[in-house]
Amino acid sequence: MNAIRYNEDSYLEAMATHVFHQPSGVNYVSIIEQFDLGRRVRQGEVDEVIIWAGPWNAGFYESQMVGTAAYWCNSPPINRPGTPLYVIMALNPERGLECALESFGHRSESILWHVYGSWNSGTNVQHLWDRFTKHDKIAPGRAACGNVHFPPNGTFDYNYSNTNSVVSSADDWLLNYPGFQQITHTFNAAEWNFAHRQYLQWWFRHMPREPGRYADGKLNNWWSYLVDFNRYPESR
């Protein structure tokens, strides 16, 4: 793909007409090469890249993983042999903080999906990531913490203001992990003030962050996988 570059006049025209480049995707390889990202990552100068994009996110994915054996990170991977993994995050200044949190949330889902090897949070639960993301729609009466789009009581994507109450094990994850006590409580979206941003903050607060490893060999601190994925074989 050839890189399309705007000048002042062409960019202002695109803004006025809402007609931007086609195909709409960004040439990531051009950006990687222009900023010499491979070398800078290898030398430890850069750990990840955050781009504040233009309108409609300017053709960027929310997140994309780059490097040797890169894998799906809410978008197809960019394989760059000999380069440690890093993530390019693209955030949109037209959108609120909740959308930035959502972008990081989908990145988190992708990495933990890779760490655990699968993702099925319905009735066929195989591991802790499946258990954590259970929500009432697909696991009636056995909700846990839900996922980025579906809170524990959600019935459709982005249903962050649902007033229906469900039984959830979220408190067990927050208070007792990894020594689960099988406690539950009943709540609705008042738990996160019926708000998108506050739901995602709630979701991240419930994510495991304890020392050591669980009986399955995975880290008890999932945040290590999300931001230091090169350090662990299961997350690279």
Tell me, yes or no, whether 192 and 82 share the same domain: no
3 within a domain of the structure (yes/no): no
Tell me, yes or no, whether 120 and 231 share the same domain: yes
Tell me, yes or no, whether 41 and 127 share the same domain: no
Tell me, yes or no, whether 231 and 155 share the same domain: yes
Quick: pLDDT tens for 107-151: 999 999 999 999 997 778 999 999 999 999 999 999 999 999 999
Of residues 95 and 32, the one with the higher pLDDT is 32
pLDDT attached to residue 2: 55
108 within a domain of the structure (yes/no): no
pTM summary value = 0.92
Quick: pLDDT tens for 199-226: 999 999 999 999 999 999 999 999 999 9
**Average pLDDT in the 64-68 region?**
97
Tell me, yes or no, whether 74 and 127 share the same domain: no
pLDDT attached to residue 94: 82
Tell me, yes or no, whether 124 and 230 share the same domain: yes
- Cα dist from 116 to 42, 72, 124, whole Å: 27, 14, 14
Tell me, yes or no, whether 58 and 157 share the same domain: no
Tell me, yes or no, whether 52 and 122 share the same domain: no
123 within a domain of the structure (yes/no): yes
Tell me, yes or no, whether 184 and 143 share the same domain: yes
Banded pLDDT at 1 (limits 50, 70, 90):
very low
**Average pLDDT in the 60-76 region?**
96
Quick: pLDDT tens for 24-47: 778 899 999 999 999 999 999 999
Share of the chain above pLDDT 70, in %: 97
Banded pLDDT at 158 (limits 50, 70, 90):
very high
* Residue 169 clears pLDDT 90, i.e. is over it: yes
2 within a domain of the structure (yes/no): no
104 within a domain of the structure (yes/no): no
Q: How many structural domains is the chain composed of?
A: 2
Boundaries of domain holding 82: 8-94
1 within a domain of the structure (yes/no): no
pLDDT attached to residue 3: 60
88 within a domain of the structure (yes/no): yes
Tell me, yes or no, whether 146 and 221 share the same domain: yes
Tell me, yes or no, whether 217 and 120 share the same domain: yes
Tell me, yes or no, whether 19 and 48 share the same domain: yes
